[in-house]
Structure 1
C-alpha cells in the first residue's frame, strides 16, 4: 500500500503507516510473546505431575526412542546382535559408495559383524558425527536398508553445496570410518499392526525403509500408499524397484 500511495501513504490520517508500525512491532514482540507463554505454562504446571514428564522445548519427546537392543535368532539358528546404541558413538567402516547422480550418492557401511543388525526399528533414523576444526557436526539419516538387513546399513545423501557434512561425506573413500549413533526418532513401525499406511514427503529414503521392511515380511499384509515428489520425472529414486512393487500392497502416487 505504501508503494501504491507513495509519500502520501505516510500521512497519519490514512492509517497505512500505523499498520506498518503495528506490523513491525509484531515482528519484534513475537518471540517474546512465545517465551511468555512458555513461562506461564511452566508456572501453572510447576506443581503438577505432568511437568516432570514434559520437555517444553521439544514436547513430543516425552520418552526416549525405542531401541531394538535384543539379540535376534533367525530360523537357521544364527544369532544377530545390535550394533548402534543411544548415547554412544559407534565407528562404522564405509564399505562402498555408489553415485546415483551428480548431487546424490548411496553409502553402504559395514556393521562390525556380518550377522549384526543396526538396533533400529522400521521408521527410525540414525545420527552421523564428524569432528572438523574442533567442532562437532551431526547429520541425520533415514537408512534405506531394512533394519534386519544384517551386516550393513545403506544411507543416501543429497549433497548440499555449502553443507559441511555433505562435503565430508562426498570426500569419503571405502575404508574410512564414520561415527554413528542410534536409534533416533519416536516412530517405530510394527509389522501386521496397520491395515493401511500412507508414506509421504519430499524425500523417499525413510519411505523406502518402511516399504522394504513391509514387503520383506510375507506375513505383513499392510497396504502402503507412497506419495513422493521430485521436480523431474527422471530424478525418481529407485524407480525400477518401485515399479516392481506395484500391486504388491503398494500404491504409488
Structure 2
C-alpha cells in the first residue's frame, strides 16, 4: 500500500472538526483540548496509520493495583477493547501529552507514564481525591470494565537535534507524565541534551517510580534530586525538629547509591544551585503539578534559571 501523507492529514483534520466546547472538562487545564487539538505526529505519519484516540474510544481495564506505599494511589493499565478496532490503527500518545477520560458527563485529564504504540495499551497513575466524583468511579472500576478516552492533548515537542539543558520539576503523582519525557531523551543516542529531574514529594516513601529514577541515573546526561520536606525518622533530634535534619544518618542509610535527597522545599536558591552556565544548550523548563505549584515554580525559575518564557512547558 502506498502511503499518502496528504490524505492522512485530511483524515486527521476531519476528526479534529468533531471537537466541541463540551469536550473541555472545565477544570482549567494548562493544555486544554480546545487550545491544543490533537495533531498527527511524525511517528503517525511515517506509520501511515490512524490514531485511535482522535475520537472517544473504549479501552478495557486489564490491571488495577494500589501503590505499595499509598493505597490512595492507583496504577491502572488499559488496552483498547479490540473487537472492532481496525488493523490500520495505532495508539499515539507523545511524551508530555495527556488523554481525556469520559464517564457519563464527567471529564478528567490523565497523563500516561507508559504506552505501547502498536499494541494500543497505556498506563496511568491516579491519586484518589476524597469526595471527588471521578475518584469515586475509579475506586469502583474493576478489570474488564470499559472506559472511554480521547486525545492526545498537549503542546510539548522535543527536537533531538537541538542540544538542551532540560529542567524537569515534578510534584507528587505528577511525576508520571515526566517519565516518558526522560526516556525520550535518554533512549535517543543522537540527543545530547542533559536532564535535571527535580522531584518534590512528601517523603521518601512517596517518591513514585523510584526504581526507574535510579535506572535513569546510570545515564551520563541525567541528574536527579529529591526534595522531601516532610521526611521524618524516629531519632530524638528529628522528632524535636519535626522533620529529619540535614545530618540525619537514618535518612542517609535509606538512600541508594548516588541517590541525592534534601529535606527541604524546592525554592529559588535550590533551583539556582542546579544552574551551570558552563554547560551549553538551550534552557528548557518543564513543570508537572497542580496549578499553584506550576505558578510558583514558573515564577522563581524565571530568575533562578534565566529561562525564556517561550521555553517553559506546564503539564
Same fold (TM over 0.5): yes
Partner in structure 2 of residue 228 of structure 1: 199
> SS of the residue aligned with 1:109?
strand
Aligned residues: 186
Check the 8 A contact 1:200/1:226 in 2, yes or no.
Answer: yes
Check the 8 A contact 2:102/2:108 in 1, yes or no.
Answer: yes
Q: Shift in Å at residue 206 of structure 1?
A: 1.4
Q: Distance in 1 between matches of 2:209 and 2:30?
A: 35
Partner in structure 1 of residue 95 of structure 2: 122
- The structure-2 alpha-carbon separation of the partners of 1:224 and 1:185, relative to structure 1 and needing over 3 Å to count, comes to same
1:250 to 208, 222, 232: 222
> SS of the residue aligned with 1:209?
helix
Q: Which moved more, 1:214-223 or 1:96-105?
A: 214-223
Map of 1:24-173 to 2, 5 A cutoff? Answer: 64-68=36-40, 70-73=44-47, 81-85=50-54, 88-100=55-67, 101-111=70-80, 112=82, 117-131=90-104, 136-146=105-115, 148=117, 150-173=119-142
Q: Shift in Å at residue 187 of structure 1?
A: 2.1
Task: Tell which structure's C-alpha radius of gyration is larger.
Answer: 1
Check the 8 A contact 1:121/1:147 in 2, yes or no.
Answer: no
- The structure-2 alpha-carbon separation of the partners of 1:59 and 1:178, relative to structure 1 and needing over 3 Å to count, comes to closer
Q: Distance in 2 between matches of 1:120 and 1:196?
A: 24
Check the 8 A contact 2:163/2:191 in 1, yes or no.
Answer: no
TM-score of the superposition, structure 1-length normalised? 0.64
Aligned Cα root-mean-square deviation (Å): 2.9
Q: Distance in 2 between matches of 1:204 and 1:197?
A: 15
Q: Deviations over 1:178-225 (max 9, x none)?
A: 111101122233334342211113120111121123233333332111
> 4+ residue stretches of structure 1 with deviation over 6 A?
57-62
1:240 to 185, 196, 211: 211
> SS of the residue aligned with 2:177?
helix
Partner in structure 2 of residue 204 of structure 1: 175
> SS of the residue aligned with 1:183?
strand
Q: Distance in 2 between matches of 1:240 and 1:103?
A: 20
Q: Distance in 1 between matches of 2:189 and 2:118?
A: 15
Partner in structure 2 of residue 32 of structure 1: none
TM-score of the superposition, structure 2-length normalised? 0.52
